[in-house]
Structure 1
Amino acid sequence: MARVIATICARGGSKGLPRKNVLPFAGQPLIAHTIAQALACPGIDGVYVSTDDDEIAAVAQAHGARVPYRRPAALASDQAPKIPAIEHLVQHLEGAGARIDVVVDLQPTSPLREPHDIAGALALADQAPLVVSVTEPSHNPYYSLVEVQADGTLALSKSTGAARRQDVPAVWGLNGSIYVWQRAALRQAAGQGFWTVPMRPFAMPRERSVDIDDALDFAMAEWLFQRREAGR
């Protein structure tokens, strides 16, 4: 049986919304929601947090995640990409004797996903080297997304000549919430880049796709969360 782990990468530094990973969100630290979702997914064998921050590490452990070390500073700067940090964590676990076949990377700033979203994406794992969660974007490059031209005028980013939204190709936006990596694909992406890996989409509704980057995102996500909980 495949060995599946969840990884959650959470740096201590955040310029858009300082300390956002541990800010209280609906009564719990923000990262705690993602940890709880991963722990509630029966297909995941272990939940691991990669962080450079002692407070985040303590919060993560208190909510059931494992924090095997502090992430090196070189992998925790504003400029450092996330995929090498995931690969670093997986290599660390493998160096300690773990066998890992599938890595489910979960963004801690996406608290509105639900365990069944993770399970749904994981169910597609054997169909592609990478499964990514997506949502319908608010703007379509074939219909309403525009670019400034050399003369200062606007033109559609992509054009088919279609006059109606219904006549243009469907597009998706990566919502950043869930990435299901085959082990070899993660290694490839760490060395050669994200877009070198073939991937398939897992669609999520927009109301579960908010990615918290700033205070407005935080307020919107918390409002959506509270509205959902009130309706249950």
Structure 2
Amino acid sequence: MEKNILWLVTARSGSKSIPDKNIKILGNQPLISYRIQSALTTNIVGDIWVSTDSEKYAEIAKEYGAEIPFIRPDYLSTDDASSMDVVLHAMEYASSLGKKYDFIGLLEPTSPFIRSSDLDKAIVQLNEKENASAIVATKESRPNRIFIQKEDEYLSELADNLKLYKKLGRQAFGKEITPSGGFYISKWDDFLKNKSFYTRETLSYLVDDISGLEIDEPLDWQFAEFIINTTYLK
């Protein structure tokens, strides 16, 4: 498949839940390096750019093989900045350099365990579906929505749902999925048109629980360290 892709690794500094999370050492290397390495080892021709507001982060990313074509502007480095705007900024910059790609892929450092083989398979799947616009990594959602209600003093909705559950049994509920954060890939022109990875023509690519780990809180980090120290990834 003679296609090419721009992999964009987004790494803003200033994480509050885990200070300097994107460059914090996991195993024996910074978190951001896992996404760079997974992109480097795919079978698809492409470039790997890191969009960051930090010169320090940029130097670390370069050490692991990524390109830093720009330092992200301040207006895209706030807590309120949209990741879609960050992607569009990189795409516009690529176009200003005369670069052309078939796909744009967003990789966030907080999902370090996605395999390069999954990235390859996802692109092939997207390429083979003529009507598909994008493909997003998903994981099985637990618990099923029947066990969830909006926050309230009383568990009235939950009580009603559980009455139904007793009649049907767990086997009656189908698998539910949710985005895992592992990757977002779109056909280039479709992203420019939709300005989103999510359309009614976005494909799901289901990953397992380990690949689907997204590090948001300190407890997630501890689980990631546990995984690194097991034989799972060796």
TM-score normalised to structure 1 length: 0.90
CA distance in 1 between counterparts of 2:134 and 2:197 reads 10
Give secondary structure in 2 for the equivalent of 1:134. Answer: strand
Equivalent in the alignment of 2:155:
153
Q: What is the aligned counterpart of 1:131 among 130, 135, 151?
A: 135
CA distance in 2 between counterparts of 1:80 and 1:113 reads 25
Residue 154 of structure 1, CA deviation? 3.5
Equivalent in the alignment of 1:175:
180
Residue 194 of structure 1, CA deviation? 5.2
Residue 90 of structure 1, CA deviation? 1.2
Residue 146 of structure 1, CA deviation? 2.4
Larger mean CA deviation between 161-170 and 76-85 belongs to 161-170
CA distance in 2 between counterparts of 1:210 and 1:115 reads 15
Same amino acid, percent of matched pairs: 25
CA displacement 1:67-103 (0-9 Å, x = unmatched): 1001111111111110110110011011101001101
Equivalent in the alignment of 2:88:
87
Equivalent in the alignment of 1:184:
189
1:18-33 equivalences in 2 (<5 Å): 18-33=19-34
Equivalent in the alignment of 2:202:
199
Code of the aligned partner of 2:203: R
CA distance in 1 between counterparts of 2:161 and 2:124 reads 35
Unaligned runs of 5+ in 2: none
Residue 106 of structure 1, CA deviation? 1.0
Equivalent in the alignment of 1:112:
113
Equivalent in the alignment of 1:43:
44
Residue 197 of structure 1, CA deviation? 5.3
Equivalent in the alignment of 1:226:
229
Residue 196 of structure 1, CA deviation? 4.2
The answer to whether the 8 Å contact 1:136/1:171 transfers is: yes
Code of the aligned partner of 1:200: L
CA displacement 1:94-127 (0-9 Å, x = unmatched): 1101001101211111111111121121121222
RMSD between aligned alpha carbons? 2.2
Segments of 4+ in structure 1 off by > 6 A? none
CA displacement 1:13-46 (0-9 Å, x = unmatched): 1111110000011100110111001100011411
> How many positions carry a matched residue from both structures?
227
The verdict on how the C-alpha distance between 1:44 and 1:197 changes in structure 2, with shifts beyond 3 A counting, is farther
Give secondary structure in 1 for the equivalent of 2:81. Answer: coil
